[in-house]
Structure 1
Amino acid sequence: MKLGELLKSYRTEHKLSMDAFCELSDLTKGYISMLEKNEHPKSKKPIVPSYDTIEKIAKGMQISTEDLIDMLDDDQEIQINATPALLSKSPIQTIYDELEPPRQGKVLNYAKRQLDEQENEEETKINEVSEVIRLYSYDYYDHPASAGTGQYLNDVRVERIELPVDVDADFVIPIKGDSMEPDYHDGDLVFIQTSVDLNDGVIGVFNYNGDAYIKQLVIDEDQAYLHSLNPEYKDMPITPDTDFRIIGEVVDLYREK
């Protein structure tokens, strides 16, 4: 239906006079009469309502503007100079409408590919964020294992920390010093699996004469010693007189980026 027909039908159904609908819609009685007759009194041409008029009628009918527009005939004209953004065409739509069908198909195919790429990028970003925010909890000994001159590991406080990596480990400790560079740096966190028996060449944490060290265990035919990866540090021999205990094996490390 045309706007005037809808308006008159609504007033009749709800037994509203023009004066009553004037109060509901903020339109004048004379303009409501013109809309319902759909004829300009001077030019005798059909009335072309503005979007503002449609909004006021929708208000009077107590429905949304969009619902009222959906009820109108497809050929119902609305003043172009009063058309809001939601009714106006985008530049892309305007260009598309001017193209011939074969070229429209090309534009549509390209647009679909662009949309697919955009959705894939958004999904990738979501996955990346999900990976970053997934945290795993570990026991954390706040006293460092020395990659240098030794640190006491007795009576250290155990806390719980969360890290964005999943490692099969019994606890985590920080490293202090540079004796295990270039593989391990001061401030790195190392994941430890407790063990009392380690093989030759394994990196572990050891209690050496009361101090805790992160070193490489080397076992020769004649001797055993703790080896630093940094050549500036001397090997630490393990003898029958050494107070020596294996704390555990280093199975992974975490370094802040």
Structure 2
Amino acid sequence: MEKLTIQDIRHGNKENCHQMFIRKSKLTDHADAVFTVYGNGMSPIIRDGDMVAIAFEDTLEPGAIGMFLVDGQIVLRQYYPDGLRAFRPELSSVDISCKEGYQIVGRFITVITEDMLPNEEERAILEEAM
């Protein structure tokens, strides 16, 4: 598998990106992108298959959930200055004390729920307007 870069993620790798519509709200208004989660490291809050809204940021407060690029792979974890932690205790933390091999992609905003997505009629109107 080819390693991703921050540019691939933030500017969209055309093969892996598509446009989608989500309802405007106080939460989603700050979203820069929506990603599908693979894995259960952040369950029960964020589960395999969930779509999550991310705000692209270069720094995070300790305890914030963020998306990170670790050795070319995307991970969603809780940020602490000494490591990236999963919610599941059986998963080990990612040591970031050396500050190499990882980059912050952005801050987790929310899990996208069904009520945040347009219904079929709204989606048809939006797509027609494009």
Give the TM-score, by structure 1 length: 0.37
Q: Report if the CA contact (8 A) 1:205-1:250 is conserved.
A: yes
- Give the equivalent residue in structure 2 for 1:242: 100
Counterpart residue type for residue 163 of structure 1: I
33, 53, 56: which one aligns with 1:191? 53
Q: Across the two proteins, how many residue pairs are aligned to each other? A: 103
Runs of 4+ in 1 over 6 A off after TM superposition: none
For the residue of structure 2 that corresponds to 1:245, the secondary structure is strand
Q: How does 1:144-223 map to 2 (within 5 A)?
A: 153-154=4-5, 155=8, 156=13, 157-164=16-23, 166=25, 167-168=28-29, 169-219=31-81
Counterpart residue type for residue 252 of structure 1: T
Matches of 1:240 and 1:233 in 2, distance apart? 20
Counterpart residue type for residue 109 of structure 2: V
Unaligned runs of 5+ in 1: 1-150
Q: Report if the CA contact (8 A) 2:3-2:71 is conserved.
A: no
Cα deviation for residue 242 of structure 1 reads 2.8
Matches of 1:241 and 1:182 in 2, distance apart? 28
Structure 2 CA distance for partners of 1:250 and 1:238, relative to 1, 3 Å: same
Unaligned runs of 5+ in 2: 116-130
For the residue of structure 1 that corresponds to 2:21, the secondary structure is strand
Matches of 2:59 and 2:46 in 1, distance apart? 22
Cα deviation for residue 164 of structure 1 reads 4.3
Matches of 1:203 and 1:241 in 2, distance apart? 18
Structure 2 CA distance for partners of 1:180 and 1:256, relative to 1, 3 Å: same
Cα deviation for residue 255 of structure 1 reads 3.6
Which has more radius of gyration? Answer: 1
Matches of 1:192 and 1:175 in 2, distance apart? 12
Give the TM-score, by structure 2 length: 0.70
Matches of 2:111 and 2:61 in 1, distance apart? 19
- 1:230 and 2:92 aligned: no
Matches of 2:71 and 2:22 in 1, distance apart? 32
User: 1:178-214: per-residue Cα shift (whole Å, max 9, x none)?
Assistant: 1101110111111111111111000000011111100
Name the structure where strand makes up a greater proportion of residues: 2
User: 1:58-77: per-residue Cα shift (whole Å, max 9, x none)?
Assistant: xxxxxxxxxxxxxxxxxxxx
For CA contacts below 8 A with separation 6 or more, give which structure has more relative contact order.
Answer: 2
Matches of 2:100 and 2:114 in 1, distance apart? 35
